[in-house]
Amino acid sequence: MTSLSRRSFLAGALLAPSIRTGSTYKLAPFTVDVTPPLGEPLLAGLYEPAHKIDDPLYVKGLVLVGPEKPIVIVAVDFCEIRTTSYQRWRNVIASAVNSTPDRVLVTSLHQHEAPLADVEGQRILEEYQISTGKICSPAYHEDCIQKTSTAVRTAMHQVRTVTHLGFGEGKVDRVSSNRRAELPDGTITFQRSSTTTNADVRNAPEGLIDPHLKTLSFWNHDQAIAALSCYSVHAQTHFRTGRVTGDFTALARSLRQQQTPNTFQMYAAGCSGDTTVGKFNDGDPRNIPILAERVRKGMEEAWKNTQKRPLDKLNLRSVPLPLRTRNDAGFSEADEESLLADKSKAFKQHALAAMGSGWRRLKAKGYQLELPVVDFGPALLVLAPGECFVQYQLWAQEMRPDAFVMVMGYGECAPGYVPTTKAVAEGWKDETWSWAEPSSCEEIMLKALRSLLEKKA
């Protein structure tokens, strides 16, 4: 949404008639502690397993109840949830509220010192008798799902009436920067990672970001019940240490919860595949509370800018998202199988091949990604897959200048990175966390976004 359209939209919200709705809509928040046991693999087992708990990890969620089957929004302090694990989360939670899996939106916050759920990838490792490491522990992940299901069932006995929807945004200062950086000699690099020590890369301009944190809130007249905030940035300052942490975005969520004890606070990452804190983080642990406080201030500003409308619409729709699997050298089905069969390869190579193979096999059985939106009328909540680049959420906002558009990333994470055509043309390349065919992502994503967000007559 441009500055002009943003001002026009908020002005329209202020002029909206203040009608009071009945008790058609209800809401039930829930929280689950999913802190992993020591020894649990983190980030697909690619680095150190959990050996110390710096912060607990949580599932935060909302059940939205209206005239149709419930909609559940679930944000998990995991790195990612993929393929059959993603299906399992949705299926079990849907059953707990007597809904359907397509009405369960699960997103990961994408911390890197956190577990990654890919039971299918782990099963493929076992199929090839690879015992040098683990992507995840299926029993631990199933326990997380069952605890969440129990929490959801309990929450359904404590639903609260929602009469109004709130929406606001606040600018976040000195947190997000794009991986793409233009160096003093004009060279373009994509090496601005979450921890960046190269002075030239750090000093380059922020690049393309979405500077605004957005907050959707749910009210019973003048009482704020719950708030969901979303911002585009990788939720990590460091990793590979084995010290479990929700990192700075989870800390910001906690600080905001302390500030508003009577309002349930959730947070989700936006499309953050190419946005990191690298311009503002050199790896010093003292940066964590600084970055968290900047995000909290963004939440506070979004709250101050919140406008309310009577909640008189709640529906969910989705469109197919047929992202293609990569088939170039090293990523074809034959290459993945050959790599998995070669016991001399490092575990990291085995794990990445197993994760790619898991998505490919599932697609062969008819599994297809979806792009869903929860439509509240004046506000739209979209869930994008994997590590979509920030441009996609900016495009989504431009497609609906008449509405408040919030885009969460890290839904079904099987594709890995979802880059833009421009980034690929400028030299962006990833040979590890990229299972979707890079050159076709933009065309497929834009077609789906237009179909999803076009204003219905």
When pLDDT is averaged across residues 91-111 and rounded to a whole number, the result is 98
Question: Using an 8 Å Cβ cutoff, are 285 and 189 in contact?
Answer: no
Q: Which residues of 402-427 are buried (b: 16+ CB within 10 A; e: fewer)?
A: ebbbbbbbbbbbbbbbbbbeebeeee
Sign for the CA dihedral angle at 227, 168, 369, 140 comes to negative
Q: Phi-psi region for residue 44, left (φ > 0), alpha (ψ -120 to 50) or beta?
A: left
Q: What is the pLDDT of residues 188-231, one digit of tens each?
A: 999 999 999 999 999 999 999 999 999 999 999 999 999 999 99
pLDDT of res. 135: 98
Report the interhelical angle of 83-96 vs 119-127 (nearest 10°): 130
- 12 pLDDT higher than 60: no
pLDDT at 17: 31
- Listed in order, strand segments (DSSP E) in 221-260 are 223-231, 243-244
Show the CA angle centred on residue 99, arms to residues 96 and 103, nearest 5°: 115
Q: Assess contact for 45 and 18: CB atoms under 8 A.
A: no
Structure-token match 């979509």, residue found: 388
pLDDT (tens digit, 9 = 90+) per residue, 398-413?
999 999 999 999 999 9
pLDDT of residue 265: 98
pTM (two decimals): 0.94
Number of Cα atoms under 13 Å in the Cβ half of residue 345: 19
40 and 50 Cβ atoms separated by less than 8 Å? yes
What integer pLDDT is reported at residue 8 of this predicted model? 39
C-alpha angle 232-234-240 in degrees, rounded to nearest 5: 175
DSSP at 365: T
**Pairing mode, strands 116-117 and 104-108:** unpaired
Residue 20: DSSP 8-state: P
pLDDT at residue 243 in the model? 96
Task: Give the C-alpha separation, 35 to 246, whole Å.
Answer: 10
Q: DSSP letter for 68, please.
A: S
Sign, Cα dihedral of 115, 118, 124, 127: positive
Closest CA to 59 of 1, 109, 121, 122: 109
The tens digit of pLDDT for each residue in 132-152 reads 999 999 999 999 999 999 999
Query: Do the beta carbons of residue 383 and residue 105 sit within 8 Å?
Result: yes
Return the pLDDT at 455: 76
| pLDDT of 23 | 57
| Widest CA span in the chain | 68
Flag whether pLDDT at 179 surpasses 60.
yes
pLDDT of residue 16: 33
Distance of CA 136 to the CA centre of its chain: 19
* pLDDT tens digits along 368-395: 999 999 999 999 999 999 999 999 999 9
CA–CA dist 435, 414 (Å, integer): 7
Lowest-confidence pick of 12-26, 80-94, 165-179, 256-270: 12-26
State the pLDDT at residue 454.
Answer: 86
Find the range with the poorest average confidence among 11-20, 239-248, 341-350: 11-20
- What's the pLDDT score for residue 385? 98
Q: What is the pLDDT of residue 309?
A: 97
Beta strand residue intervals within 163-302, DSSP E? 164-171, 177-178, 181-182, 188-189, 212-220, 223-231, 243-244, 264-269, 275-276
First to last CA, the chain: 21
Q: Which residue has the higher pLDDT, 20 or 176?
A: 176
Closest CA to 394 of 442, 455, 456, 322: 442
What tens digit of pLDDT does each residue of 54-79 get?
999 999 999 999 999 999 999 999 99
* Beta carbons within 10 angstroms of residue 26's beta carbon: 19
Mean pLDDT of 256-260: 98
Interstrand relation of 243-244 and 52-53 (parallel, antiparallel or unpaired): parallel
Tokens 């299901």 belong to residue: 149
**pLDDT average, residue stretch 422-436:** 96
Which spans in 28-137 are helix H? 83-96, 119-127
